Amino acid sequence: MSGYSFPILSDQELLPCLKEMELPCSAAQLAKPTYEVVRPLYESMVTTLMGITREELQQPVFQAIVALEFPELHDESIPAVAFTKNLGKLMAAAGVKDFTMQDLYKPDAQRLRRNLSAIINFAKFREEKLVPYTEMQEATEGILAERQDLEDLNRQLMSELRRLQAERASEEPDVARLEADIHEVYTENQQLNKQQATLNSEVRAMKQQTNVLADEAADLKFKLANARQEGDQLRSLIVESPEKLQAMLEEIQAAVERERSLVAEAERKARDLQARLDTVAKVEKEVQKAQRVMEEVESELAKKKAISRQVKELRSQISGEEQEALQLAATQQHLKRQQASLAERMQRLEQQAALKKEAAASCVEEQLRDKEAIEAENAATMAKLTENDAMMRALREKIKELQTTQEVQISMVLDRYTSLRQQVAEYHTLLEAAMTPASRSAAVKAVTLR
């Protein structure tokens, strides 16, 4: 504002501008301004350009007037202070920084011209910026609609976030329980894997031992068959000596008993191995069942990881939405301030429009009254014109009659004039013929003497 300037207008430029702003003023009043001339000009400019009505200028602040001991003494000072305050704001906005009370109560012609030039320049600038202001207002309305859409979207996202958070909170006990079950199953699976490894090693050892025992049993069976063959052979070779036979039989019986005990031991070991094999089969079934449970647990873990990723994505999206919401909130505050300013300006414009509308309505009523008066006058004029037309027709007929009579009289006068000219010409001829040269000279002398 330090470099702000405006042109000083001349009377030829200033007076039409004041007339256009409906501020009647003459060159003489500008040359010798008074308070009575300057006050209405400044007051009209304040009410027009600042959107403040005269009633608002006259109305005091009730909260402040209560504090006065004798408020009736300030009935004139309060409106004067309000008017000068608003006038000072207007002059400061127009670029006049040194406006004082003297310019209002004891105006100077040069300073008044400068102040009016500044206000007119400000008014023209205001009119130039009215179209961008309207466009900005429309853009603001679009931004407000977009902000409303974004707020609706933000509310939807926040409700979705709250729903997901509630679902997550409701699923947290299940997740904790699943995690505990998973940990327990994982621990049990590790133990079962260890048992399975131990049992597998034992099964392998038992299978090896079973194979060894089977080989031994087969060997023993082979030996038993051989012993039976030998027994048969020995029976065929029985001798007369019963002592030898008895000893041989005892030895064979002892061998058979040993073989039977070995076979029984092998069968017992086989039964033990079969029981262990059954146990191993059961353990394998349990292991397979545990593996299926592990697979289910892994699928649940995969689902949990997917849900965790979704939660992380939602958190990142929520953080982005929160940042955007903060930006939108800042934009909203800025737009609210602009909207408040625009609403204030719109209110002032509406008040101005209402005042102008009232003035226009009164002007229209006055014009209607003038129109009715003019229409009545026109009706009287039309009646008078009709009467005048009748009179004109009568006068025209009379004029035609007079013209006819005049033409007859003129023709008679012309006939008489023609006859008189002929008589005068004849008279002159006779007179010239009658006069001699001597009488002519005497007549000329007489005429000269006369």
Domain boundary pick from 304, 338, 372: 338
Least-confidence region, from 62-66, 116-120, 198-202, 353-357: 62-66
Give the Cα-Cα-Cα angle 54, 57, 58 (nearest 5 degrees). Answer: 90
Nearest to 116 by CA among 36, 44, 28: 44
User: Position of tokens 């262990």?
Assistant: 276
Predicted confidence band of residue 444 (pLDDT cuts 50, 70, 90) = very low
Query: From CA 397, how far away is CA 400, in angstroms rounded?
Result: 5
Other C-beta atoms closer than 10 Å to the C-beta of 348 total 17
Least-confidence region, from 143-157, 180-194, 226-240: 226-240
If asked whether residues 155 and 274 sit together in one domain, one would say: yes
If asked whether residues 294 and 425 sit together in one domain, one would say: no
If asked whether residues 206 and 71 sit together in one domain, one would say: no
If asked whether residues 217 and 296 sit together in one domain, one would say: yes
Query: From CA 10, how far away is CA 45, in angstroms rounded?
Result: 19
Predicted confidence band of residue 1 (pLDDT cuts 50, 70, 90) = very low
> SS3 for 409?
helix
Domain boundary pick from 74, 97, 128: 128
Q: C-alpha distances in angstroms, 21 versus 7, 109, 119, 429?
A: 18, 20, 11, 88
Q: What is the mean pLDDT of residues 224-233?
A: 74
Q: What is the pLDDT of residue 245?
A: 62
Domain count, the chain: 3
Mean of the per-residue pLDDT values of the chain: 76
Q: What is the pLDDT of residue 65?
A: 55
Write the DSSP assignment of 360-396 as a string of letters. HHHHHHHHHHHHHHHHHHHHHHHHHHHHHHHHHHHHH
Least-confidence region, from 29-33, 70-74, 234-238, 339-343: 70-74
* Terminal-residue alpha carbon distance, the chain: 101
If asked whether residues 118 and 175 sit together in one domain, one would say: no
Q: What is the pLDDT of residue 450?
A: 42
Q: pTM here? A: 0.34
Token pair of 384 as six digits: 């008078």
Residue 363 within any structural domain of the chain = no
If asked whether residues 33 and 100 sit together in one domain, one would say: yes
Query: From CA 123, how far away is CA 171, in angstroms rounded?
Result: 68
Other C-beta atoms closer than 10 Å to the C-beta of 138 total 10
If asked whether residues 191 and 290 sit together in one domain, one would say: yes
User: Position of tokens 């039309």?
Assistant: 382
Residue with the larger pLDDT of the pair 314 and 15: 15
Give the chain's count of helices (H) and strands (E). 11, 0
Per 3-state DSSP, what percentage of the chain is helix, strand, and coil (rounded to 5)? 90, 0, 10
Residue 284 within any structural domain of the chain = yes
User: Position of tokens 């300037």?
Assistant: 5
Q: What is the pLDDT of residue 384?
A: 77
If asked whether residues 107 and 161 sit together in one domain, one would say: no
In this predicted structure, the answer to whether residue 83 has a pLDDT above a threshold of 50 is: yes
Query: From CA 105, how far away is CA 99, in angstroms rounded?
Result: 12
Q: What is the pLDDT of residue 449?
A: 43
- 8 Å CB contact between 189 and 289: no
Residue 349 within any structural domain of the chain = no
Q: Per-residue pLDDT tens for 162-193?
A: 888 888 888 888 888 888 888 887 888 788 88
- 8 Å CB contact between 25 and 37: yes
In this predicted structure, the answer to whether residue 446 has a pLDDT above a threshold of 50 is: no
If asked whether residues 334 and 424 sit together in one domain, one would say: no
Task: Find the domain containing 322 and state its range.
Answer: 151-338
If asked whether residues 87 and 159 sit together in one domain, one would say: no
At residue 197, φ and ψ (nearest 5 deg) are -65, -45
Q: C-alpha distances in angstroms, 47 versus 11, 256, 306?
A: 24, 139, 68
If asked whether residues 334 and 256 sit together in one domain, one would say: yes
CA 30 to chain centre: 49
In this predicted structure, the answer to whether residue 276 has a pLDDT above a threshold of 50 is: yes
Assign residue 226 the CATH number of its domain. Answer: 1.10.287
Residue with the larger pLDDT of the pair 207 and 46: 46
Q: What is the mean pLDDT of residues 68-85?
A: 68
Residue 369 within any structural domain of the chain = no
Other C-beta atoms closer than 10 Å to the C-beta of 256 total 14
Query: From CA 108, how far away is CA 15, in angstroms rounded?
Result: 17
In this predicted structure, the answer to whether residue 46 has a pLDDT above a threshold of 80 is: yes
If asked whether residues 162 and 109 sit together in one domain, one would say: no
Q: What is the pLDDT of residue 228?
A: 74
* 47 CB-near residues (< 8 Å, 6+ apart): 53, 54, 57, 352, 355
In this predicted structure, the answer to whether residue 331 has a pLDDT above a threshold of 70 is: no
* 192 CB-near residues (< 8 Å, 6+ apart): 283, 286, 287, 290
The residue length of the chain stands at 450
Residue 110 within any structural domain of the chain = yes
Q: Per-residue pLDDT tens for 345-384?
A: 667 667 666 666 776 676 667 767 777 777 777 777 677 7
